[in-house]
Structure 1
């Protein structure tokens, strides 16, 4: 696509969508193939209800074949034993190809799961940055020389694990894919990607770009399908060395069981969240804070693992601050995902749409005060859209205040003291993210250290880049994406001890 023809308007994106040719087959052993059993799954545009494609739905036989191919590729060494600098050059070529096709890739995610095109373009920037970061890192990480006497030399080497199965979610399809596969490939592993059955299209397009970039045969494969079929088969495989997963806590627990039932493969999990966003009365610009607090939950329709779904506000400013949040939410209404001006899009599918609406009804029944939203809506007379929904007067006993909804539903709590704010924030099964808004540096240091969370955002929400790790504690998981730390998860330490002649 030339610079002059880059889409900038809703009509441009609609025209590009009409021109797409979708790849719907699995990518196994350097070729696009139908699922061995011939099964398919239907992927639907949730903004219109229209069927996009029938995509190959892989199962045990496809998983077995892909794992065998991945193992042969790893043992063959064309990638696993390739010099880090050469792996870097290949991954940088892939990043360049993603850059050249970013509009197409972004559009595929928008069509597949309903997110606004502006958001999808942001995801592409993040995915490309992730790939480049890890590509550039891999030839700059050193091993270790142990401290020994003169009669020995102790080396600590870092080697790739082997076959990595990456199981990624539907809410940020290609960005989450990059977070998993970039460090795994950079470290020298063979990777099998299982995209969500709700959003497989960009992963299949990525496979063709990976082949064009020059990744060796069998090093990267894509198996679309369901978690209970092909996902389960990969998790139980005796020849998969690592599972990297982003998704629900329930599925994460199941994957850990599968690892124990098979070969004790490593399992890295980034699971659910019910993230607290703490606002203290000493904030100077409450209008700005309210805008960020609204975006923290309504971005991507609330289908975000780190969504700031619990808003904890000091009672001294609570009433005024909630009014500012309501005003901000009014500016974030759903629109056509192909309109670059839309802040929110459609819910990913009817099951998620109904789940969110059920939680909203439950919130009303439990006595929370519905301040905004609460009813489904349509755009141009169709689609699965839910507007920003705000509940005030939420208590810890209410489901909307404790359970991950994964939709545009904000639960507002009040607090009087710093100690109460910390207690409320930590009273959760989850610990993925937390926000803290205050101008008091002493309070910031005290509270941020006591919040039980994998990451704390101070006077921002999710303003981070590739240089810092991303992950949670408690039932939000145990792994870390991004930064040099993620490379550690996809490599093995080997000790070499040499006895030297006197």
Structure 2
């Protein structure tokens, strides 16, 4: 009997046995990039190269889009009944779970998150999303709107055609599922461009999708650089829809690409600067402090909806910060392949240096209450960091840092808290802690965010929409509403002769 558990497995030995996918996946098969170019995928925990991966560019995007269009036009996928497409997505969910260890190792070694998070969150989360859309797609009704006597109108959802998807490195498998699953469920073909830091898990996903029965050409993956492969996908005249998660700056480029090409639909989930507000009437300050740490130090702070601004009612501020610092010790980074590590490495030296530069500014603008330093000189590890007493104009309070850096702000009134929380161009997520139901409902109304979590942080599920306002973008991932992004409404009007 197999008695291995995650805590007893030698994950380093397992990682040493991994075979890394290295090519472009187009039309159901592997091929080198047309240019022959490659780029290095680096293990951020060691700074060493895992493998060299094909660097797709415009020629590879052309080939992938052509394969996707051909598959769409031949109706090998789009022509199937919704229930059959859904069954294939459920088979893919099963395959993801069957390959949990392998996929988790790919995610951990390519982007540095702890193996326990990859095992417990990343892979099961992606499987749950594919299963959600697999089970939901044949249950969405059409419409029979009212028409004049003698006429009938039928309104159906129809797929758009070829969907381009560009995803980030922080949740490389999970966020890929947020884009790919609803697009495929609706009957589209997909070309996925993963982040250059983390292409390995996405390439393996493509192989498993083929094994699940998704026909060749329906799901293609082209690794490459944003300035080449990403730009080519955004500008491609035969891509009908582009969905993107990443920075607001790059999101704006995709809007421009659409305007410069075929006016393709563009759906953006971009940056965030999420507030987490703790009122003195919070019923459990210790739980709030524990979850505040999770909200900023989980996944090394590399989360678009990270609760990076902590607003605490002044009368409890000192006590709460002390509790917060005590709980932050649990997030001191360790070896990502050690299942006891709650935090791993930053994804790259570039990202580490960016966050450390914000810490330098924080030292000038406020007070470092915890952390603020790089850990060691091997890999890209950083201490969980808490800064207080920042000047109002500090960029740490306004910019999306994307790292384990928490800014603490004291407030005196509910109105002041709302004003501070909403003083940002972003509107992705917000949290509030209170035992007062009326206040909870007021905060839900007042906070400018796509998701407001009450007495928890950053809450989401496959069944609830995730998206924001303002510079955080538009169009929801997750839930049945995500299918709206990848379908159009077709009306058939029948006049009785």
2:306–2:458: 8 Å Cα contact kept in structure 1?
Answer: no
User: Structure 2 CA distance, aligned partners of 1:62 and 1:77?
Assistant: 23
Q: Which residue, 380, 386, 398 being the options, matches 1:384?
A: 380
Is 1:411 matched with 2:401? no
Q: 1:398 is matched with which residue?
A: 394
Q: 1:375 is matched with which residue?
A: 373
User: Structure 1 CA distance, aligned partners of 2:67 and 2:106?
Assistant: 28
Alpha-carbon deviations, 1:237-262, whole Å to 9, x = none? 11000111000000000100000111
Q: CA deviation at 1:150?
A: 2.7
1:10–1:339: 8 Å Cα contact kept in structure 2?
Answer: no
Q: 2:287 is matched with which residue?
A: 288
Q: 2:166 is matched with which residue?
A: 167
Q: CA deviation at 1:7?
A: 5.2
* Matched residue count: 496
Shifted more, 425-434 versus 115-124: the winner is: 115-124
User: Structure 2 CA distance, aligned partners of 1:431 and 1:10?
Assistant: 42
Q: Which residue, 467, 472, 479 being the options, matches 1:471?
A: 467
Is 1:204 matched with 2:200? no
3-state SS of the aligned residue for 1:406?
coil
Q: 1:59 is matched with which residue?
A: 57
Alpha-carbon deviations, 1:189-226, whole Å to 9, x = none? 00001000000000111111111111111000000001
User: Structure 2 CA distance, aligned partners of 1:8 and 1:119?
Assistant: 11
User: Structure 1 CA distance, aligned partners of 2:331 and 2:33?
Assistant: 41
Q: CA deviation at 1:5?
A: 6.8
Alpha-carbon deviations, 1:436-477, whole Å to 9, x = none? 100001111111101000100000012331110001101001
User: Structure 2 CA distance, aligned partners of 1:43 and 1:195?
Assistant: 12
User: Structure 2 CA distance, aligned partners of 1:70 and 1:488?
Assistant: 20
Q: CA deviation at 1:393?
A: 1.1
Is 1:340 matched with 2:339? yes
Q: 1:113 is matched with which residue?
A: 111
* Runs of 5+ consecutive residues of structure 1 not aligned to the other structure: none
1:431–1:453: 8 Å Cα contact kept in structure 2?
Answer: yes
User: Structure 1 CA distance, aligned partners of 2:17 and 2:493?
Assistant: 60
Q: 1:148 is matched with which residue?
A: 147
Q: 1:128 is matched with which residue?
A: 127
3-state SS of the aligned residue for 2:380?
strand
3-state SS of the aligned residue for 2:190?
strand
Q: CA deviation at 1:396?
A: 2.9
Q: CA deviation at 1:50?
A: 1.6
User: Structure 1 CA distance, aligned partners of 2:44 and 2:247?
Assistant: 21
Is 1:43 matched with 2:49? no
Is 1:77 matched with 2:75? yes
1:44–1:112: 8 Å Cα contact kept in structure 2?
Answer: yes
1:225–1:231: 8 Å Cα contact kept in structure 2?
Answer: yes
3-state SS of the aligned residue for 1:240?
coil
**What aligned pairs does 1:292-307 form with structure 2 within 5 A after superposition?**
292-307=291-306
User: Structure 1 CA distance, aligned partners of 2:3 and 2:235?
Assistant: 47
**What aligned pairs does 1:184-333 form with structure 2 within 5 A after superposition?**
184-333=183-332
Q: CA deviation at 1:369?
A: 0.8
Q: Supply the RMSD in Å over aligned alpha carbons.
A: 1.1
1:7–1:13: 8 Å Cα contact kept in structure 2?
Answer: no
Q: 1:93 is matched with which residue?
A: 91
| C-alpha spacing 1:440/1:191, structure 2 compared with 1 (3 Å) | same
User: Structure 2 CA distance, aligned partners of 1:247 and 1:45?
Assistant: 21
3-state SS of the aligned residue for 1:347?
coil
1:10–1:338: 8 Å Cα contact kept in structure 2?
Answer: no
2:279–2:313: 8 Å Cα contact kept in structure 1?
Answer: yes
Shifted more, 369-378 versus 394-403: the winner is: 394-403
User: Structure 2 CA distance, aligned partners of 1:134 and 1:117?
Assistant: 26
Q: 1:493 is matched with which residue?
A: 489
User: Structure 1 CA distance, aligned partners of 2:482 and 2:210?
Assistant: 24
User: Structure 2 CA distance, aligned partners of 1:464 and 1:350?
Assistant: 30
2:297–2:404: 8 Å Cα contact kept in structure 1?
Answer: yes
Alpha-carbon deviations, 1:344-387, whole Å to 9, x = none? 10000010010000010011112x11000011003xx6211001
User: Structure 1 CA distance, aligned partners of 2:174 and 2:3?
Assistant: 25
Q: CA deviation at 1:301?
A: 0.4
Shifted more, 7-16 versus 444-453: the winner is: 7-16
User: Structure 1 CA distance, aligned partners of 2:355 and 2:82?
Assistant: 46
3-state SS of the aligned residue for 2:10?
helix
3-state SS of the aligned residue for 1:47?
coil
Taking structure 2 as the reference length, the TM-score comes to 0.98
2:331–2:384: 8 Å Cα contact kept in structure 1?
Answer: yes
Taking structure 1 as the reference length, the TM-score comes to 0.97
2:460–2:466: 8 Å Cα contact kept in structure 1?
Answer: no
Q: Which residue, 438, 457, 460 being the options, matches 1:461?
A: 457
User: Structure 2 CA distance, aligned partners of 1:482 and 1:11?
Assistant: 33
4+ long deviations beyond 6 Å: none
1:395–1:413: 8 Å Cα contact kept in structure 2?
Answer: no
User: Structure 2 CA distance, aligned partners of 1:324 and 1:338?
Assistant: 28
Shifted more, 158-167 versus 14-23: the winner is: 14-23
Q: 1:433 is matched with which residue?
A: 429
User: Structure 1 CA distance, aligned partners of 2:244 and 2:38?
Assistant: 23
3-state SS of the aligned residue for 1:365?
helix
2:41–2:49: 8 Å Cα contact kept in structure 1?
Answer: yes
User: Structure 1 CA distance, aligned partners of 2:55 and 2:3?
Assistant: 35
